[in-house]
Amino acid sequence: MKIKKKNALIGGLLAIVFVMAIGYAAFAQQLTINGNAKITSKWDVQIESIAATGKTGTGADVPYAAGTAEDGTQKVSATQAQFKADLKSPGDSVTYTVTVKNYGSIAAQLNTATPTPQENDAPITYTTTANDLLNQELSAGATQTFTVTATYDDVTAQPETTEKSYTLTLDYGQFGV
């Protein structure tokens, strides 16, 4: 292909990129944003471990057995930590300590820690210390820990179900320059 033709082709391709950029800016609100990038070239913030580190009453950690039909996944993966607590009576609680490590080379910070569901109704409630870490530097190679406590609140009426799921979404971003 002649050089002039290639120049024309490059110009045409750049025009397509330009149109895409305009489209992106115009329709950014309607694009599907799934979440935050987990691992990129130098960005690698991962959950390192989760461990039951405290309990009250008859509360107990229920370990996931490998390969069971419970979930078929690991208890801890790079971006997900799961636990299952057995709370038999009001007042029982189990506390889990989660460790997050920055394996990348760029300093990170926790921007938000969003629980789902937002409402924390009895009988089983969750509390977390993750909010204490907001905007604190997690330098390359360093770790941060926070706890999540599942508590069977004191209630007079017996609940219909004692099962409750809870998701805490951690949004890590680059630490402010």
Partner 1 sequence: MAKLLLFYGLLIGYLLTDVLFLTQMEIPFYNEIVNPAIWVVMCGIAFWLGKNDSQRITEKNDKFQSLLIVLIIYIICYFALGLVFGFQKTPYSKDLLSILSNLWIFGGIIVFQEFMRNAMIRADKKSFLNFSLITVIFILLNINFNSFLDSFDTFKDGFIYISSIIIPLVVTQAILTYLSYIGGMKFPIVYRLVLIIPELLIPIIPDLDWFATAIIGVILPVATFVYLNYVHIRKTERLSKRASKKFSPVIYIPVFAFIVLAAGFVMGLFKYQPIAVLSGSMSPTFNRGDAVVVRKLDAGEKKRLERGDIIQFQSGARYVIHRIEEVSNDEYGNIEYITKGDHNNTTDSKPVSADEVIGKASFVIPFIGYPSVWLSGAI
> Phi, psi at residue 76, to the nearest 5°?
-125, 125
Q: Is 108 in the site for partner 1 (CB under 8 A)?
A: yes
Interface region with partner 1, contact rule CB under 8 A, candidates 52-60, 98-106, 125-133, 143-151: 98-106
Options 45-53, 55-63, 126-134, 162-170: segment touching partner 1 (CB under 8 A):
45-53
25 lines the binding site for partner 1 (CB under 8 A): no
As a whole number of angstroms, the distance between CA 102 and CA 9 comes to 43
Least separation in angstroms between residue 168's CB and partner 1 is: 18
Binding segment for partner 1 (CB under 8 A), chosen from 65-73, 89-97, 126-134, 158-166, is: 65-73
Query: Largest Cα–Cα distance of the chain, in whole Å?
Result: 84
What three-state secondary structure class fits 68?
coil
Helix (H) / strand (E) containing 174: strand 167-174
Other residues' Cβ atoms within 10 Å of the Cβ of residue 30: 6
Q: Determine, following the binding rule CB under 8 A, whether residue 22 of this chain makes contact with partner 1.
A: no
169 binds partner 1 (CB under 8 A): no
When asked if residue 170 is in the footprint of partner 1 (CB under 8 A), the reply is no
According to DSSP, the residues that pair with 39 across neighbouring strands are 44
For position 139 contacting partner 1 by CB under 8 A, the verdict is: yes
For 32, residues 6+ apart whose C-beta sits below 8 A from its C-beta are: none
Q: How far is the CB of 113 from partner 1 (least distance, A)?
A: 16
